[in-house]
Amino acid sequence: MVTAAQTLPPGTARAPRVPAVRHLGPNWYASVMGTAIVGTAGAGLPWDVPGLRTVCAAVWALSLAMLVVLLAARTLHWRHHRDQARAHLLDPAAAPFYGCLSMALLAVGGGAVTVGRDWTGERAAVALDVVLFTAGTVIGLAAAVAVPYLMAVRHRIEPGQATPVWLLPLVAPMVSAALGPLLVPYLPAGQPRATLLLACVGMFGLSLLATLVMLPVVFGRLVTGGPLPLALTPTLFLVLGPLGQSTTAVGKFAETAAGTVPEPYATGFGVLAVLYGVPVMGFALMWLALAAAHVVRARRRGMGFSMTWWAFTFPVGTCVTGAEALARHTGLAAYEGLAVLLYALLVTAWALAAAHTARGLLSGALLAAPRPAPAPAA
């Protein structure tokens, strides 16, 4: 019998398979996003808490380290397990998570300018953000087109399979729209600044309209098909992502527009921040209550930990930053209080997800092959 090893040319060494990363999917980038937003959102809270900014900088540094490790691990995954990587792309349940790669890069890059600069210095923080923002935006725009294309052309999807996970590649350009304005002040005045700001507005529209197309499909499946499977129930929180992030984005547009675009557009962005942000945040709070009710129901029916628990973090964090933006633009203490309450929820969710993830990594359970579905009874 001729073995695979005997078929290799003489002197050719077999590349290590690195089995530990075979089942490391793109969904793991959600842990980087969820960690980065804890630092970014905490740094923007309206109430000054001694030592909070230092803690936020430390959390951001942790997210940067996680991103580096995960990028290395995913590179090994693509190098040694291309069959599995291709299977992820052809799986309608896994392919949308490629949007998380974009958002992880963007979240860490935006955090560098927001709070990481306290440790790295402003120049290094801006340089890091330029690299990560550029890479994240390119990947996000590609995912926003490629994943829906694969869903239409290659995936075989039944109506009952719709989940909020489908929103992930569509939300990535909204993250670029919200974080791009951070780089506007570092560009030369005039055309460069206006171009970047309006490019962010364009990505805002791209993501918003795509979400408005997809969200009814997801909500219709929820209403007509019943509750999601227990393990997927936390993904209901993903709907908060485009809501909170778009509210954050219009707030950033308003804060950057003065001196970047002429009047009356600069003033118009300030009006948009309130007239858009207030009703959207209202819908976000309604959806938060609905999603929380589903999670309580699922928990009572035995929902255990899975990586979908990271859906409790980044989407809630975008609502924190959205509430912070509304607090700045309306001056209302109610939005300040809302931002603090949502941040407390974010930190609690992050602590639970991080603790369970660390435990699963140490035990090896989270990197093990998925269990086969039980055979139907005869």
- Measured CA to CA, the distance from residue 297 to residue 284 in angstroms comes to 20
Q: Are 183 and 114 in contact (CB under 8 A)?
A: no
Transcribe 175-233 into DSSP letters.
Answer: HHHHHGGGGGGGSPTTHHHHHHHHHHHHHHHHHHHHHHHHHHHHHHHHHHH-SPPGGGG
CA distances from 111 to 39, 121, 233 (A): 7, 13, 29
pLDDT at 372: 53
Indicate the pLDDT class of residue 371, thresholds 50, 70 and 90. low
What are the phi and psi torsion angles at 13 (to 5°)? -90, 140
Number of Cβ atoms within 10 Å of the Cβ of 267: 12
Percent of the chain surpassing pLDDT 70: 92
Q: Does the pLDDT at position 44 exceed 60?
A: yes
Q: Which of 15-19, 35-39, 188-192 has the lowest mean pLDDT?
A: 15-19
* d(C-alpha 277, C-alpha 283), whole Å: 10
Q: Within its chain, how far is the Cα of 103 from the centroid?
A: 5
Q: Please list the residues that pair with 261 across neighbouring strands.
A: 258
pLDDT level of residue 80 (50, 70, 90 thresholds):
confident
Q: Residue 8 and residue 44: Cα distance in Å, rounded?
A: 58
The predicted-structure confidence for 99-157, as pLDDT tens digits, reads as follows 999 999 999 999 999 999 999 999 999 999 999 999 999 999 999 999 999 988 888 77
- Flag the least confident range among 36-45, 87-96, 271-280: 87-96
Task: Give, as one character, the DSSP assignment of residue 92.
Answer: T
Average pLDDT over residues 341-361: 96
For residues 352 and 69, is the Cβ–Cβ distance under 8 A? no
Q: Quick one: pLDDT at residue 5?
A: 40
| 45 close to 52: Cβ distance less than 8 angstroms | yes
Rounded Cα–Cα distance for residues 353 and 337 (Å): 24
With 90 as the cut, is the pLDDT of residue 364 above it?
Answer: no
DSSP string, 235-260: GGGGGHHHHHHHHHHHHHHHHHHBTT
Question: For position 133, what pLDDT does the model report?
Answer: 98
Better-scored residue on pLDDT, 25 or 179: 179
pLDDT at residue number 47: 85
Locus of tokens 């996680």: 66
* Spatial separation of the C-alpha atoms in residues 69 and 98, rounded to whole Å: 17
Rounded distance, CA 6 to CA 16, Å? 16
Q: What angle (nearest 5°) sits at the alpha carbon of residue 251, between those of residues 283 and 261?
A: 135
- Write the CB contacts of 239 (distance below 8 Å, at least 6 apart in sequence): 164, 167, 215, 218, 287, 291, 315
The confidence band for 81, taking pLDDT boundaries of 50, 70 and 90, is: confident
Over the stretch 211-249, which tens digit does the pLDDT of each residue have?
999 999 999 888 888 899 999 999 999 999 999 999 999
Interval 320-326 mean pLDDT: 97
pLDDT at 3 over 70: no
Nearest to 260 by CA among 197, 178, 325: 197
C-alpha 99/C-alpha 147 separation (Å) is: 9
pLDDT exceeds cutoff 90 at 2 = no
pLDDT digits (tens, 9 = 90+) for 161-213: 889 999 999 999 999 999 999 999 999 999 999 999 999 999 999 999 999 99
Nearest to 268 by CA among 276, 29, 64: 276
Tokens (6 digits) for 318: 């975008």
